[in-house]
Amino acid sequence: MELQFQFSSSTAEEFFNCGARNIEWMSGYGAGKTYAAMQKAIALMCKFPGYRVAIGRFTNKALQQTTKKTFFKVCPPELYADANGGRNVQESCTLFNKSEAVWMHFDDMSEGDLKSLEVNMAIVDQAEEISESVYLTLDSRVGRWDKVTVPGDIPNPPINAFTGAPMAPSYMILLANPPDEGEYSYLWQRFHPESQIWQEQYSTTHKYFESASFENKALPPENLKVMLSRDPEWVRRYVYGKFSKGEGAIHEISPLSILEVDEDWVRNNILKKGSLARVLDHGASSPTACTWWAALNGIYFCYREYYQPDKVISEHRRNITDLSRGETYSVNLADPSIFRKSNEKYGGFWSVADEYLDPTLDSPPIGWSPADNNEFATRNRINELLRISGSITHPNLLDLNQEPMKGAPRVYFIKKTKDYAFGCDHILRETASQRKKLLDEVNGKKIYSDEREASVSDHSYDTFRYYCASHLASKSEGRPKPKPGSFFAARDRIKAVKIARDMYGMSFNN
């Protein structure tokens, strides 16, 4: 049969015809993006026999009540009717030509489950609900299904270099409303044209669409009128589809806190003058994060970040050591949980902290001290450091001794750039992403608890908390030299004599 689709907006039609491999459509409520995505999926399934599409949402309930219903609203029943060779079951829908839509929900699905997936296309509805790691795993599975027929009327199809067979087009599609993380969300960083990461890495492969609710000609005017009556922040996000800070956010990072500098600036202005520290959040199944800090004249700098999943402790230890060469730290802090002796090794019980000290590994041991994990005590401390204070002088990107302006935060992050590869990225995104747990919505007003939303990634953010709880000591001036003849002078003399005798075999008569 011939499909005859109508499009509810010009954005929907442009999206339908877009050939980019990775596509994101950000919009307000009711913009018609799910409907257009189902049109695109069904058109491809009909054109390419055996085409396989994964369609998912975070929860199964939302998948069944919204996304799946939209698919069947778009898809003519004769395409999947049993009489025509189709099949519609709980897990999937197979069309007459053996093309298949597979339903997925990610709330109880591991990355291991996703790694076995083979599809030509993936559509994630309400993508702001899923983590970046789920997106990356899905993205790596798109294009792996090769049981698909490419019709002869397709001009110049791509050819598989190994099999020599023509390949069907592959698509990774994200449909979303603006996330709470704003510009620190991976949805912004990987897709938005104003993102530096998009400009440097993804501009040729990742396409971004943005539309407002009222662009959808099928949206009832009454619905739009109700939405426009909400507060300006809500309207900005959920009517106009614009990124913003969002509700329930715990922290706000000023652009003044983000420094773009090179390695020489870090070396000359921070490493030579500051009191240095390393902070670790170890992950067994989640990423391991380590951040490096410098305290100087009451100002604090996060100047390096390490963030790696799926590695054993020996690799983390080696990598952290390599990044730390030539530096001396006043403190090494880590999540207190790594000191619990829960891992059996060498016939006894062995903690993660012990692994970092194990002399049999092929990198220098690292001795960590347990950090203070008091969530509420450090949350306000972080906000105090992030807020703009009139008594603080911004460290101007050239020389810490200059005073270009008054009114600045007390904590800074050296941004990851081409010129500074191990600068901050995850800690910025995770800190800005932290939000309070939503309890309910009463008369249109969201009510939050003091607890932090547990589903938001916090590995690098936790290192920030641990460092803030360490009292943030700057490099000390040292203890004054004791006066000759005093008790402290005599004590130091005795210590020096003992060290000289032990190390050099020197003898002393008096």
pLDDT tens sequence across 34-62:
999 999 999 999 999 999 999 999 999 99
> What was the pLDDT predicted at 285?
76
Please, which pLDDT band fits residue 246 given cuts at 50, 70 and 90? low
Whether 489 maps to a domain, the answer reads yes
Whether 334 maps to a domain, the answer reads yes
Where would I find the H helices in 399-446?
426-433
Tell me, yes or no, whether 464 and 510 share the same domain.
Answer: no
pTM: 0.61
Contact 67, 59 (CB under 8 A): no
Please, which pLDDT band fits residue 377 given cuts at 50, 70 and 90? confident
Please, which pLDDT band fits residue 477 given cuts at 50, 70 and 90? very low
Tell me, yes or no, whether 270 and 233 share the same domain.
Answer: no
Match 């009540």 to its residue by tokens.
65
Tell me, yes or no, whether 462 and 397 share the same domain.
Answer: yes
CB atoms within 10 A of CB 328: 8
CB atoms within 10 A of CB 415: 16
> What was the pLDDT predicted at 341?
79
Q: Average per-residue pLDDT in the chain? A: 87
Domain limit, last residue, from 179, 206, 238: 238
Compute the distance between CA of residue 7 and CA of residue 24 in angstroms, rounded to an integer.
18
Burial of residue 83 (CB within 10 Å: 0-12, 13-18, 19+) is: exposed
Query: Could you tell me the strand order of the sheet in which 331-334 lies?
Result: 258-259, 411-414, 299-308, 288-296, 275-281, 331-334, 369-370
> What was the pLDDT predicted at 184?
75
Tell me, yes or no, whether 355 and 401 share the same domain.
Answer: yes
Across 484-508, average pLDDT: 63
Whichever domain contains 362, its CATH number is 3.30.420.280
pLDDT tens sequence across 151-207:
988 888 888 888 888 999 999 999 999 987 777 789 998 999 988 789 989 999 999
What residues make up the domain containing 487?
Answer: 480-510
Q: 31 — phi, psi (to 5°)? A: -80, -10
Please, which pLDDT band fits residue 31 given cuts at 50, 70 and 90? very high
Across 66-77, average pLDDT: 96
Burial of residue 371 (CB within 10 Å: 0-12, 13-18, 19+) is: buried
Q: Which two tokens stand for residue 235?
A: 């309207």
DSSP string for residues in 3-44 = -----SSHHHHHHHH---SEEEEEE-TTSSHHHHHHHHHHHH
Whether 473 maps to a domain, the answer reads no
Tell me the three state secondary structure of residue 293. Answer: strand
pLDDT tens sequence across 215-225:
999 999 999 99
Across 212-237, average pLDDT: 89
> What was the pLDDT predicted at 46?
96
Whether 208 maps to a domain, the answer reads yes
Tell me, yes or no, whether 231 and 83 share the same domain.
Answer: yes
Tell me, yes or no, whether 321 and 410 share the same domain.
Answer: yes
CB atoms within 10 A of CB 390: 7
Contact 437, 453 (CB under 8 A): yes
Q: Which two tokens stand for residue 166?
A: 């023509």
Tell me, yes or no, whether 142 and 269 share the same domain.
Answer: no
Where would I find the H helices in 169-308?
186-191, 196-197, 221-228, 232-238, 263-266
> What was the pLDDT predicted at 478?
42
Whether 215 maps to a domain, the answer reads yes
Please give the span between the terminal C-alpha atoms of the chain, in angstroms, as a whole number.
108
Q: How far is CA 365 from CA 293, 304, 313, 345, 362, in A?
A: 20, 20, 11, 17, 9
Reply yes or no on whether the pLDDT at 128 is more than 80. yes
Across 469-486, average pLDDT: 60
Contact 462, 372 (CB under 8 A): no
Reply yes or no on whether the pLDDT at 398 is more than 50. no
Whether 156 maps to a domain, the answer reads no
Q: Which of 97-111, 277-291, 354-368, 482-496 has the lowest mean pLDDT?
A: 482-496
Task: State the DSSP H helix or E strand holding residue 105, giving kind and residue range, or none if neither.
Answer: strand 100-105
Compute the distance between CA of residue 160 and CA of residue 144 in angstroms, rounded to an integer.
11
Tell me, yes or no, whether 67 and 180 share the same domain.
Answer: yes
> How many domains is the chain built from?
3
Please, which pLDDT band fits residue 325 given cuts at 50, 70 and 90? very high
Q: What percent of the chain has pLDDT over 70?
A: 88
Q: Which two tokens stand for residue 448?
A: 């939050």
Tell me, yes or no, whether 63 and 106 share the same domain.
Answer: yes
Q: Which of 211-220, 312-321, 391-400 has the lowest mean pLDDT?
A: 391-400
Q: Which two tokens stand for residue 45?
A: 């399934």
Contact 82, 129 (CB under 8 A): no
Domain limit, last residue, from 207, 238, 269: 238
Across 404-411, average pLDDT: 77
Reply yes or no on whether the pLDDT at 457 is more than 50. yes
> What is the signed CA dihedral for 103, 109, 111, 115, rounded to 10 degrees?
-40
Tell me, yes or no, whether 444 and 319 share the same domain.
Answer: yes
Whichever domain contains 219, its CATH number is 3.40.50.300
Tell me, yes or no, whether 422 and 400 share the same domain.
Answer: yes
Whether 317 maps to a domain, the answer reads yes
Whether 244 maps to a domain, the answer reads no
Compute the distance between CA of residue 212 and CA of residue 8 in angstroms, rounded to an integer.
12
CB atoms within 10 A of CB 114: 20
> What was the pLDDT predicted at 36?
97
Compute the distance between CA of residue 262 and CA of residue 404 in angstroms, rounded to an integer.
19
Burial of residue 200 (CB within 10 Å: 0-12, 13-18, 19+) is: exposed
> What was the pLDDT predicted at 236?
86
Tell me, yes or no, whether 388 and 324 share the same domain.
Answer: yes
